[in-house]
C-alpha cells in the first residue's frame, strides 16, 4: 500500500458533433452524443498525495494555472465528494493538486471536459495505487469515463481518443448512459486525420452557463422532439463515419448545430449565444464550399465560436482560406489549430 506518491495525467478536450443538451438523474444524457477528441487543447493535472491517519474525508490544496481559483476549487470539492463513494481511498487522504490548460481560459474552449477527466484519471489511479487494485486497460478507462461523467457529462468522452459515443444507442450493446465508449472500430479511414480549426469569435463570459442551459431544457416545449432527433442523428452519424460518407456527415453535423441553437431560442427565458461574426463566418464557409466543392463542415458548442472540421488532404487550401478570409472576423485574429487526438496520457506515476 502506497502511503504517498505523485500522479499526473494529461487529458484532452473534445468537440461534440451530435450534441449533448439536456440531462436527467446523475448527469445522464437525454440522448446519445458523438464527439471527436482533440490533441492540442488539453489539461495537465498533477497530484501529490499523502495518506492521513483519520477517515475524515479528503482534504486538498489547489492551484489552477499557478494561482488559487475559488470557483474551480468549489467544483473540485464537489467532484471529490461525489467520487469518494466510488474511490474509498479518498476518504483518508490529502491532495496537493496543480492543474493547467494548454489553451487560455478566455479562448472560449469548454475546459470542464479536459479538466475533470484529467482529475478523474488521477484520482482513480491514486485509489488503485493505494489499495493495490489491478484493472485492465479497458476496465480502467471505462471506470474513468464513469467517474468523469459525475463531474461533467462531456468529460466522460475525453477519456478516449478519436471518435467517441456516449449514451445508449441501438446496435451498440456496450453503449451506456453512464460512460462513453470508443468508436475506433467503426470509423472509415477518411475520418482518421481530421483537423479542427477553432475560430475564436468571442472569448467573453457567456450570458448563461451550460448548467443553467441544461436546466432550462427540462421545460423546453421541444424537448421530446430534440431527444428523438438526437437519437436518430447519433445513429446516422455513426453510419456516415463507418461508410466514409463525408456529405452525409456534414449534413448531420450542421443540422445538429441548428437544432442545438434552436433549443436556446425556444427555452424560457430564451437566450442567444452566437454573435454577428459567427453568422458572417458561416456564410463565408458556405459560399467557399459552394465555389470550391471542398468537403468540410463546421460545428459550434454552446457558444459563439466555430469549429471548422476538415480532412488532412485539403489542409493547405483550408489554412489559406482561414488566414485570408476568416481571421479578420475572429477576436484579435485568434484561432486554434487543432486535430483529432489519441486520448489521455499518463505523465507521471510514482
Residue holding cell 450534441? 19
Please state, in angstroms and rounded to a whole number, the distance separating the CA atoms of residues 73 and 78: 9
Please state, in angstroms and rounded to a whole number, the distance separating the CA atoms of residues 38 and 5: 29
pLDDT at 290: 98
CA 209-61-51 angle, 5° bins? 125
Is residue 270 helix, strand or coil? coil
pLDDT at 56: 82
Instruction: Give how far Cα 24 sits from Cα of 31, 43, 177, 209, 289, Å.
Output: 10, 27, 10, 17, 39
Please state, in angstroms and rounded to a whole number, the distance separating the CA atoms of residues 26 and 86: 14
Cβ–Cβ under 8 Å, residues 272 and 265:
yes
Say how far residue 214 (Cα) sits from the centre of its chain. Answer: 15
Instruction: Determine how β-strand 4-18 pairs with β-strand 345-349.
Output: antiparallel
Sorted by where each starts, the structural domains of the chain and their CATH numbers stand as 4-187 (3.30.230.10), 190-339 (3.30.70.890)
Residue holding cell 487526438? 341
pLDDT at 53: 84
pLDDT at 1: 62
pLDDT at 2: 65
In this prediction the pTM is: 0.95
| Nearest alpha carbon to residue 165 among 20, 57, 62 | 20
Residue holding cell 488559487? 68
Cβ–Cβ under 8 Å, residues 327 and 201:
no
Q: Cα-flanking dihedrals φ and ψ of residue 14, to 5°?
A: -145, 160
| Nearest alpha carbon to residue 164 among 142, 187, 180 | 180
Where in the chain does DSSP place strands (E)? 4-18, 23-24, 28-29, 33-51, 59-64, 93-101, 163-166, 180-182, 194-199, 296-300, 306-311, 335-339, 345-349
Please state, in angstroms and rounded to a whole number, the distance separating the CA atoms of residues 100 and 76: 14
Residues in the chain with pLDDT values less than 70: 1-2, 105-108, 110
Please state, in angstroms and rounded to a whole number, the distance separating the CA atoms of residues 141 and 179: 9
Residue holding cell 486554434? 336
Cβ–Cβ under 8 Å, residues 159 and 144:
yes
Is residue 9 helix, strand or coil? strand
Name the burial class of residue 68, with classes exposed (0-12), middle (13-18) and buried (19+) by CB atoms within 10 angstroms of its CB. Answer: exposed
Is residue 142 helix, strand or coil? helix
Alpha helices, H only, 179-245: 210-217, 223-243
Amino acid at each position: 500500500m502506497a502511503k504517498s506518491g505523485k500522479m499526473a495525467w494529461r487529458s484532452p478536450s473534445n468537440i461534440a458533433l451530435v450534441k449533448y443538451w439536456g440531462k436527467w438523474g446523475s448527469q445522464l444524457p437525454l440522448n446519445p452524443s458523438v464527439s471527436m477528441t482533440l490533441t492540442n487543447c488539453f489539461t495537465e493535472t498533477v497530484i501529490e498525495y499523502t495518506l492521513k491517519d483519520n477517515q475524515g474525508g479528503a482534504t486538498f490544496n489547489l492551484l489552477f494555472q499557478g494561482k488559487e481559483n475559488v470557483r474551480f476549487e468549489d467544483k473540485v470539492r464537489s467532484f471529490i465528494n461525489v467520487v469518494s463513494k466510488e474511490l474509498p481511498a479518498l476518504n483518508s487522504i490529502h491532495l496537493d493538486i496543480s492543474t493547467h490548460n494548454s489553451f487560455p481560459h478566455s479562448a472560449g474552449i469548454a475546459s470542464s471536459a479536459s479538466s475533470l477527466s484529467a482529475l478523474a484519471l488521477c484520482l482513480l489511479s491514486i485509489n488503485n495505487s493505494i489499495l493495490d487494485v489491478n484493472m485492465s486497460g479497458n476496465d480502467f478507462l471505462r471506470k474513468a469515463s464513469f467517474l468523469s461523467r459525475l463531474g461533467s457529462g462531456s468529460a466522460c468522452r475525453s477519456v478516449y481518443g478519436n471518435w467517441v459515443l456516449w449514451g445508449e444507442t441501438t446496435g451498440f450493446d456496450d453503449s451506456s448512459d453512464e460512460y462513453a465508449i470508443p468508436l475506433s472500430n467503426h470509423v472509415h479511414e477518411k475520418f482518421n486525420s481530421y483537423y479542427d480549426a477553432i475560430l475564436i469569435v468571442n472569448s467573453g463570459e457567456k450570458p448563461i452557463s451550460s448548467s443553467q442551459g441544461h436546466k432550462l431544457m427540462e421545460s423546453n416545449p421541444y424537448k421530446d422532439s430534440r431527444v428523438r432527433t438526437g437519437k436518430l442523428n447519433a445513429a446516422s452519424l455513426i453510419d456516415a463515419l463507418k461508410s466514409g460518407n463525408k456529405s452525409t456527415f456534414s449534413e448531420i453535423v450542421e443540422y445538429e448545430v441548428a437544432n442545438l441553437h434552436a433549443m436556446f431560442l425556444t427555452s424560457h427565458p430564451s437566450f442567444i449565444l452566437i454573435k454577428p461574426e459567427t453568422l458572417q463566418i458561416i456564410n463565408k464557409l458556405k459560399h467557399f464550399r459552394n465555389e470550391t466543392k471542398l468537403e468540410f463542415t463546421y460545428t459550434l458548442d454552446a457558444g459563439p465560436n466555430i469549429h471548422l472540421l476538415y480532412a488532412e488532404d485539403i489542409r493547405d487550401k483550408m489554412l489559406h482560406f482561414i488566414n485570408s478570409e476568416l481571421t479578420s472576423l475572429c477576436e484579435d485574429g485568434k484561432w486554434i489549430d487543432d486535430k483529432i487526438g489519441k486520448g489521455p496520457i499518463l505523465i507521471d506515476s510514482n
